[in-house]
Structure 1
Amino acid sequence: MRSAAVTDFSQYAQLRAQARSDDPAALRATAKQFEALLLQQMLKSMRAASLGDDVLGGEQTQFYQEMFDQQIAQHLAAGRGLGIADLMIRQMQNGDVSRQTSDVRRDPVSTLAPLPRASESSVSPSSQALANAASVDAAPLASHGSRLTPHEFVRSILPYAEKAAAELGIPARVLVAQAALETGWGQQMMRRADGRPAFNYFGIKADTRWQGEKVQTMTREFENGEMRRRSAEFRAYDSRAAAFDDYVRFLKSNPRYAQALRHGGDAARFTSGLQKAGYATDPAYARKIQHIADGQTMKAALQAARPVRLIQT
C-alpha cells in the first residue's frame, strides 16, 4: 500500500467525499490518517528531546525536517503501522461499545448482592418466548468458542430479564444493563472450577443464607475511596432462569432494599436506591448502570434481539 505525499492535498478532499457518501473505505482511510498524525507527533517529541540544536541547521532545515517526518509518518501508517488504525476500525464498527464498556467491571464488585435494572417495557414476556429461551437456558454463553458480542449477550438473557423486570416493576433494559456491568457484557462471567458457567449475572455473594453451589473468584471493592482486589465466594446457578429468579427473591426478601423497591416505576430511583442500600461499594454504581441502559449499544442490541423472538412466536 503506497502512501500519498503530504503535499498532495487532493487526498483529503477525496476522503471528505468518501465520508459524505458513507463509503466503507473512508473509515479505514480516516483511521490511517489518524495513526499517521500520532506517528508524526511521536517523531516530533523525539526530536524535541534531543541534546541540542544542529550547528549547521536553521529555520529552513527545520522546515524540511518536519516535512520529512510527516512523509515518514504517512509511509509507516500506510503499511501495517502500529496497529492503532485497525483497533480504531474495530471500535468504530462496534458503535459505542468501547465507550460503554469503559465503565464495565471486569470482576464482580458488589459488597453484598446485585440488583436488577430494566428495559423499555415492564410487560411480562409471552410464555412461548420463555419456552423458546428455555431450550438454551443452561447452554454456555459462547458454545462456539468465541467471545459474545453485546447483541448475543442481550439475546441470551432478555426473556429472563423481562420476566424479572415485570415482577420488580422496572424496565427490562435496566436489569440487562446491570448484568452487562457485572459481567462485561458476558465476557467476564464467573465460572466453576471445571469451567462451567456459574450464571451469576448480578454479583450476588454466597453468604450464610445461601445453601446452593458456590464459586470462588476475585472481586474488586472500594474501601476509603480506593479499589482493592479480594477473593470471595459467590452464588452459582444451574441456569439463566435460576439466576434471575434468585435475583428477584434476593431483593424482595432483604429489608434493606425495601426503599429501592418503592421506585414507582422510575428506573433511576430504583438504581440509586440500590446504591444507597449498599448493594455495591462502587460510588458510581447507579450512574454506570443508567449509562449502559440508555446507551446506543443497548438500544441496538434490544432492537436486534426482539425481532428474532417475535419471529419465533
Structure 2
Amino acid sequence: MDLSSVTKTKLEMSRNYHDMGSVNKLREAAQSGDEGALEEAAKQFEAIFVQMMLKSMRKAQDALADKDSPFSTEQVKFYREMHDKQIATDLSANGSIGLAEVIMQQMNPGNGVMPAGVVRADGDLSVLNRHNVAAIQNAQNRVMGNNNDNVSQGAFKSAAFASPKEFVDALYPHAIEAAKALNLDPKAMIAQAAVETGWGKSLIHKNDGENSHNLFGIKADKRWDGEKATVDTLEFVNNVPEKQQASFRSYGSFTHSMEDYVDFIKSNPRYEQAIQKTESPKDYFNALQEAGYATDPHYAEKVMAVLDGNMLGELIP
C-alpha cells in the first residue's frame, strides 16, 4: 500500500470523535510539518465551531422541553452531545461549511495566501479604486486646509507586487547588500518584509497613489524629518488587537527603506541585544519582539514561519 495512503488513513481516523489515539497521531504529524496534518487540524477547528453552534441550539431547545419527558434525562443529553460532536466532525470532513479551508490558508504562511492582517487592512481592493480614493482625499484636504506637505493623511494600503515571486525577485538583490551591515541572513530581511506587507500585497501608498516603499512598518516618530503617510493599522494592546491611526515613514525607493531599517536597528539602543544575535534569525527576531519592535505577541513566530516556510525556500533556494 502507498505510504501516503496509509498516512492519510491515520489522519482521517482522527475525525472520529471517540478515537483519542488517532487524535494523538494527528498531533505528532502536525509537529513534523505534515501538510496533511495541517488540513486535518483545520477541519478539527471547524468542527469545534460547528459543535458550539449545535450546543447553543440544543440549549434553546432544552429551555422549551418538557422536564418530565424521558428524552430530557441527563443520560439522553450525554449521548446526544456525543452524537452532535460526531456530526460536527463529519460535516467538517465533508467541507459542508467551508471554514476549514480559510483556517488552513491562514495557518500556513508559506502558501502564498494573503494573511489575515492584510485582509483586515483591505488587501489589494484599493487598487480597483485608487484614483477615486486619491481624488476624494485631495478634495477633503483642500476643504480642511491641510497644508502639511510632509504628511499624507489619506494614505491607504494596496498591492505593489503581483505575486510573492515578483516580490522576492525585486527585493532580494537589495536585501543582500543591506543585510551585510547587520550580519543578518538576507532571507531573514525578506521574511520580515513579507510579514509586514503580506508579500507586497499591503504596502502603504500616499493619497496621491505614490508608493511609500515602507517594507518594515517603521513609524514616523519625532526622529524622522522625511515624508510621512498616515494610515489605519492594527496594534495589540494587552494582547488584544485594536485599530489605530499611525504615521509611517515614506521612502523614495525600496533600497532606501532597507537602508533606513538597518540604520533604525543599529542606532536605537533598545535593539542592542538583537544586534548581538543576528547570526541566529530566530534569536534576532525574538530579541526584536522583546525590545518592542512590534506589538503583536506572535510577531517573531510569524516571521520565522515565513523564513522556514516552503514558499520562501522555493523562491530563494
TM-score (norm 2): 0.54
Match for residue 255 of structure 2 among 206, 225, 241: 241
Counterpart position of 2:311: 301
Letter in structure 2 aligned against 1:175: M
Shift of 1:192: 0.9
Are 1:16 and 2:26 matched, yes or no? no
Letter in structure 2 aligned against 1:292: K
**Alignment check: 8 A CA contact 2:212 2:250 kept:** yes
Counterpart position of 2:207: 193
Counterpart position of 1:3: none
Percentage of identical aligned residues: 37
Match for residue 46 of structure 1 among 52, 57, 70: 57
**Alignment check: 8 A CA contact 2:192 2:216 kept:** yes
Match for residue 162 of structure 1 among 176, 179, 184: 176
Counterpart position of 2:188: 174
Q: Which runs of 5+ in 2 are unaligned?
A: 1-5, 14-34, 122-157
Counterpart position of 1:125: none
Q: 1:48 to 1:200 in 2, by over 3 A?
A: same
**Alignment check: 8 A CA contact 1:191 1:197 kept:** yes
Q: Give the Cα separation in 2 of the matches to 1:251 and 1:296.
A: 21
Shift of 1:244: 0.8
**Alignment check: 8 A CA contact 2:205 2:212 kept:** yes
**Alignment check: 8 A CA contact 1:31 1:85 kept:** yes
Q: 1:27 to 1:19 in 2, by over 3 A?
A: farther
Match for residue 280 of structure 1 among 293, 298, 310: 293
Shift of 1:200: 0.6
Counterpart position of 1:261: 275
What is the correspondence of 1:1-313 to structure 2 with a 5 Å cutoff? 16=9, 39=50, 42-49=53-60, 50-51=62-63, 52-53=65-66, 55-58=68-71, 81-88=96-103, 90=105, 94=108, 141-142=159-160, 144=162, 148=163, 153-219=167-233, 229-254=243-268, 257=271, 260-263=274-277, 265-267=279-281, 270-271=284-285, 274=288, 280=293, 282=295, 284=297, 288-289=299-300, 291-295=301-305, 298-307=308-317
| Number of aligned positions between the proteins | 250
Letter in structure 1 aligned against 2:260: D
Q: Give the Cα separation in 1 of the matches to 2:238 and 2:83.
A: 52
CA offsets per residue over residues 87-123 of structure 1, 9 Å max, x none?
Answer: 346457x56669x96799978xxxxxxxxxxxxxxxx
**Alignment check: 8 A CA contact 2:195 2:306 kept:** no
Q: 1:71 to 1:227 in 2, by over 3 A?
A: closer
Shift of 1:84: 1.9
Q: Give the Cα separation in 1 of the matches to 2:245 and 2:207.
A: 14
**Alignment check: 8 A CA contact 2:176 2:186 kept:** yes
Q: Give the Cα separation in 2 of the matches to 1:31 and 1:299.
A: 18
Q: 1:69 to 1:245 in 2, by over 3 A?
A: closer
Q: Give the Cα separation in 2 of the matches to 1:244 and 1:161.
A: 7
**Alignment check: 8 A CA contact 2:106 2:115 kept:** no
TM-score (norm 1): 0.55
Provide the secondary structure at the position in 1 that maps to 2:181. helix
Shift of 1:166: 1.5
**Alignment check: 8 A CA contact 2:213 2:254 kept:** yes
Q: Give the Cα separation in 1 of the matches to 2:243 and 2:9.
A: 47
Structure with higher RCO (Cα < 8 A, 6+ apart): 1
Q: Give the Cα separation in 1 of the matches to 2:307 and 2:284.
A: 22
Provide the secondary structure at the position in 2 that maps to 1:295. helix
**Alignment check: 8 A CA contact 2:195 2:303 kept:** no
